[in-house]
Amino acid sequence: MRAIGWLLAGICAAFGLAAAPALAQSADDVTDVSPPVSPPTPPAANSDDLLDDSDATGLRPAASDSPTAAALALRPSLASPLPRTVVRPKDPAQSAKLPVTGPIPAIIDREAEAGREYDALGLRLGSFVATATSTTTVGGTRSSVAGGGNSYVSHIDEVDLRSDWDAHSVGVKLRGGLKQIIDGEQVTEPEADAVIDGRVDLSAVDRLSGSAGWTLRKDDDHTGKSVGTWSGTLGYERAAGLIGLKTSLGADRSDYQTGTDRDNTALSGALRLSLDNGAIVQPFIETGVFGRLYDRASDSDGLSRNGIGGEVKLGLASTGDRLHGEIAAGYAYEAIDAAGLADMRGALVEGQVVWTPTDLLTVNGTLSSSFEPTDTAGSPGSIVRAGEVTVTYALAPNAYVLGGVRLEDKDYVGIAQNEWTTTLRSGVGYRFNRNVEAGLALSHKIVDSSAAGADYNETTVEATLTLRR
């Protein structure tokens, strides 16, 4: 917790320092409603969002001088999902197991045209644009646990179809892949996503959005098994007047291969009010209520882990050209049905910040908190808090290097068990043309657990080849 506190303080300091020059702009600068240059999407987008519904919910004004476009630009917030509570499944994109190579920084001025020459064009299908990506990875892992590591090959294909309309939008993303261990024990690890999202522009300042999908990911319990989750979100957003409003309802159904005592259904609702006074940095308050219902009591102690709770948080959002994103802090509480289990409660931190101090350098910072289910005897669940910083530097319009650190604290409520994970990452990427990119990534993970014999460290090296269309 202390290290995450320092990480939070560092992100907040950078947020404040980078925002200061923006706050000193003239009134004419502040009221300029033209949309800023879009920064790259952070690899760990904090949003604890299992479904990538950013395009369905972010206020992305059309490139037009019409009054409608100007009205939509009143609050060009970070393209983030609708409010989500800590009970919803953690975003798989925050897993340090994923490849570390990412997008080239958004080069703002003289390098912009050269950089765009290496962007995939996609395929236009009427009023839709389709993009396809195929990534093959060859990697090796060396671990301190029994077995010492393994070598593997993975392949992931993704197809994204998105509308190109002046109003409203709809999109479909299909993604699937396999990771095959090629030495030692022969193991195949699948992963998949199927997501549909969309929005309806009710007026120049009102939007209705929704998403539904299914995802399959490797579980974090070190068993090698997977967890599948069905998710749905329905939201409403209004950006008019001094107070902006954003609200959402969500449902998530999670099924674990390791056993049915963790299978559960979570329902949640959230409301955000923001002060849309035209400033570069704007405050907001967000509240949420949620409940989780398990299929049956845990095998470990026979106790029901059903619960109901709520949360509240205060935050700041920035829409500057150089600093884009939001940070928030608050408190969450979940009352557990079983008298023999402690209630879940604790401070939460959340944030997603993109800072571009120079045209070639991009700093991505994320913070997240979540309540996660467990079948460990005597514990109703774990509180997971994580923070990550990634720095990406463009060596050329088609080449970049990156480095980063991720800290995660997993604290089991009601029992003296804690797991602290530190992950260091670095990588380099090179685009040969619009369609071919090669990457090399290195990561080192250190797990320090209070459970006997659970400590380990793991080093991974990966070479990737990505084809885009």
pLDDT tens across 51-80, in order? 333 333 333 233 333 332 322 322 333 344
Q: What's the pLDDT tens digit per position in 333-386?
A: 999 999 989 999 999 999 999 999 988 899 999 999 999 999 889 999 999 999
Min mean pLDDT across 84-98, 166-180, 431-445 is at 84-98
What is the spatial distance between Cα 3 and Cα 332, in angstroms, rounded to a whole number?
A: 20
Q: Residue 146 has what pLDDT?
A: 66
Q: Indicate if the pLDDT at residue 390 is higher than 70.
A: yes
Q: What's the pLDDT tens digit per position in 211-220?
A: 999 999 888 7
Phi and psi at residue 154, to the nearest 5°: -130, 150
What is the spatial distance between Cα 400 and Cα 403, in angstroms, rounded to a whole number?
A: 11
Which residue, among 270, 297, 269, has the nearest Cα to 286 in the 3D structure? 270
Give Dmax (Cα) for the chain.
65
Question: pLDDT averaged over the chain?
Answer: 80
**Which pLDDT band, with edges at 50, 70 and 90, does 84 fall under?**
confident
Which carries the bigger pLDDT value, residue 355 or residue 240? 355
* Sign of the four-CA dihedral 286, 70, 199, 355: negative
**Which pLDDT band, with edges at 50, 70 and 90, does 21 fall under?**
very low
Q: Residue 81 has what pLDDT?
A: 55
**Which pLDDT band, with edges at 50, 70 and 90, does 143 fall under?**
confident
C-alpha pair distances (Å), 211 with each of 50, 196, 253: 11, 6, 14
Q: Residue 321 has what pLDDT?
A: 82
Q: Indicate if the pLDDT at residue 422 is higher than 80.
A: yes
Is the entire prediction scored with pTM above 0.85? no
Coil/strand/helix, residue 8: helix
